[in-house]
Amino acid sequence: MSGKLIIFSAPSGAGKSTLVHHVLGCEFNLEFSVSATSRAPRGTERHGVDYYFLSPEEFRQKIDNQEFIEYEEVYHNFYYGTLRTEIERITSKGKNIVFDMDVAGGLNIKKQYSDKALALFVAPPSIDILHQRLVNRKTDSPEMIAKRVAKADFEMTFAPKFDLVIVNDDLEKAKKEAENAICEFLSK
């Protein structure tokens, strides 16, 4: 069945993007929902592929115009959100949508779409391992890493509200868990 939503949420550095890229390569008729953000691109990220990069002013204008299904100010002037046009773009092709998003955004979409959405929470094995992953990826300043780790403690409290929690302590096992959950969900 097409038009279903698969949501991957996690604290930053838990491995949700890795799992999203994996399931996009599986035979699930998925297309990635490109989120909008007001943060600057990291590394090789590209506008319209990884994110729609907007200034904080542009983002707030779209909020005022009700162009988002959901959005969140994750940090001061660091917004993330899902544009209505992105959902329409993908479902008009008869595809299922996969999201890579923060915990609050994931729960907002699950609440709006209920049984049409599968919400997967990707948990790190521990906060210490999460911290090390963020350091190793070399995309954030030490100050931003400290903010992300502090936020991760809070985000972990929302895990029970998701349909399934995947602990990413063994990547191959986590990939298989994600595949199995999606396969079962899409067959309903």
| CA-based R_g, the chain, Å | 16
Residue numbers of the domain that contains 119: 5-186
In order along its 188 residues, the chain shows pLDDT tens digits of 568 999 999 988 888 999 999 999 999 999 999 999 999 998 899 999 989 999 999 999 999 999 999 998 877 889 999 999 999 999 999 999 999 988 988 999 999 999 999 999 999 998 888 888 888 888 888 888 888 888 888 999 999 999 999 999 999 999 999 999 999 999 98
Q: Is 107 left (phi over 0), alpha (psi -120 to 50) or beta?
A: alpha
* CATH code of 73's domain: 3.40.50.300
Helix axes 16-24, 171-186, angle to 10 degrees: 50
Task: Write down the pTM of the prediction.
Answer: 0.87
Measured between alpha carbons, how far is residue 187 from residues 28, 29, 115, 124, 181 in Å?
A: 10, 12, 13, 28, 10
The total of structural domains in the chain comes to 1
